[in-house]
């Protein structure tokens, strides 16, 4: 009779739970999401850039001027930080880069990418496009975001043993 292996998640041979690499990955992921949300809700004009108010003048953005000047490039900065953080978290020295974390990260990124593209096609294409936060500003670039999520999923797949 064989004994079943004990599976202790915090066993020393699995490595430390919190490393500098994991802290950097978390910082980039949270920072990227925060950058996108702050830009959308705090800087961008309510109806988007180029929208006209009741006085016939363009709506003005709010928030820091350096973010106003970047306009749509803020999404690029936020998503690059998010995807870079996810790619860094695929390293074996982080909890997502070893054991079951690799599978969770890989499948999670693939599913989020697929859902992102499906939401774009279902709600933002056709005769009556909906007004969805972030999606409406990105337009066709939503496809790049969905594919980028899947590409990050492949970084997890390369770590799968």
Parse the chain into domains and list their residue ranges.
18-157
Tokens of 145: 């975001």
Contacting residues for 134 by C-beta, under 8 A, at least 6 apart: 36, 40, 75
Question: Residue 113: which of 89, 83, 84 has the closest Cα?
Answer: 83
pLDDT tens string 126-141? 787 888 889 988 989 9
* Alpha-carbon separation of residue 44 from 86, 88, 146 (angstroms): 26, 30, 23
Tell me 52's DSSP state: B
**47 versus 92: which is more confidently predicted?**
92
Phi, psi (rounded to 5 degrees) for 58: -65, 140
Task: State if pTM tops 0.75.
Answer: yes
Confidence of residue 44 (pLDDT cuts 50, 70, 90): confident
Per-chain mean pLDDT for the chain? 86
């Amino acid at each position: 009779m064989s004994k079943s292996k004990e599976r202790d998640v915090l066993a020393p041979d699995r490595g430390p739970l919190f490393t500098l690499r994991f802290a950097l990955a978390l910082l980039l992921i949270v920072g990227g999401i925060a950058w996108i949300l702050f830009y959308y809700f705090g800087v961008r004009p309510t109806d988007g850039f180029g929208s006209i108010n009741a006085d016939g003048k363009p709506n003005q953005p709010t928030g820091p001027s350096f973010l106003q000047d970047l306009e749509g490039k803020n999404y690029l900065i936020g998503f690059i930080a998010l995807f870079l953080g996810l790619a860094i978290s695929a390293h074996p020295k982080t909890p997502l880069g070893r054991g079951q974390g690799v599978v969770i990260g890989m499948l999670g990124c693939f599913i989020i990418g697929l859902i992102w593209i499906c939401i774009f096609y279902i709600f933002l294409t056709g005769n009556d496009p909906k007004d969805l936060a972030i999606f409406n500003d990105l337009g066709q670039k939503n496809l790049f975001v969905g594919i980028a999520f899947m590409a990050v999923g492949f970084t997890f797949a390369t770590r799968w043993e």
